[in-house]
Amino acid sequence: MSRLTVPSPDDVPDDAKGILDTIGRQFGFVPNMFTTLASNPTVLDVVMTLQNTLSRVLDAKTRHTIALAVSQANDCDYCLAMHTYVSSELGGMSSDDIDLARAGGSTDPRRAAVARFAQQVVESRGQVSDADLAAVRDAGYTDAQILAIVTVAVQVLLTNFINNVNQTDVDIPAVNPAATTV
């Protein structure tokens, strides 16, 4: 059961209703995470603005790979379910590639390097080694792209933390635990 207040549809603040309507059109329903965020419209706006802005920094499959890898490393059940759903239903990722991303890998060597690096960012709290940076650079990523990878990872951590604190009720298909290494 969620530990933070989840407003009923009648209690959603007016300045959050439009955002929730947009989310509802995108998913066909409003996921619990967003309804919870609606209790503070400014926080909802920050999360949505960040997600929308970061949709321009890397291709969708790479962003999905980061989201899955980070959510797995951070043990966020809600975000794993959400990102698995989005990656599969909206992002065109296969179930094998979703499982690999959660484990820090990918069928694509470049995305595998991103998944491993994103998990290292989480596990080391940003204190990655020179070897970690070299590995992602060797996969062909520039320093500007590495900044984008870290920023997407931190954006995912934001929602992981919110959902872990809240213990948000999973209202999308739950996922099975994946291995944490490839």
Residue 181 has a pLDDT of 46
For residue 10, the 8-state DSSP code is G
Residue 182 pLDDT class (50, 70, 90 cuts): very low
For residues 121 and 30, the answer to whether their CB atoms sit within 8 Å is: no
User: Which tokens belong to 24?
Assistant: 């509802």
**45-97: pLDDT as tens digits:** 999 999 999 999 999 999 999 999 999 999 999 999 999 999 988 888 999 99
Lowest mean pLDDT among 85-94, 102-111, 115-124: 85-94
- Topology of domain 60-166, CATH: AhpD-like (1.20.1290)
Residue 21 has a pLDDT of 95
Query: Could you tell me the residue ranges of all domains in the chain?
Result: 9-54, 60-166
Helix 109-123, helix 143-166: angle, nearest 10: 60
**153-165: pLDDT as tens digits:** 999 999 999 999 9
Residues 29 and 26: their CA atoms lie apart, in Å, by 8
Residue 155 has a pLDDT of 97
Q: Does domain 9-54 have CATH number 1.20.5?
A: yes
Residue 157 has a pLDDT of 97
For residue 125, the 8-state DSSP code is T
- Strand, helix or coil at 94? coil
pTM equals 0.91
User: Which tokens belong to 150?
Assistant: 């870290």
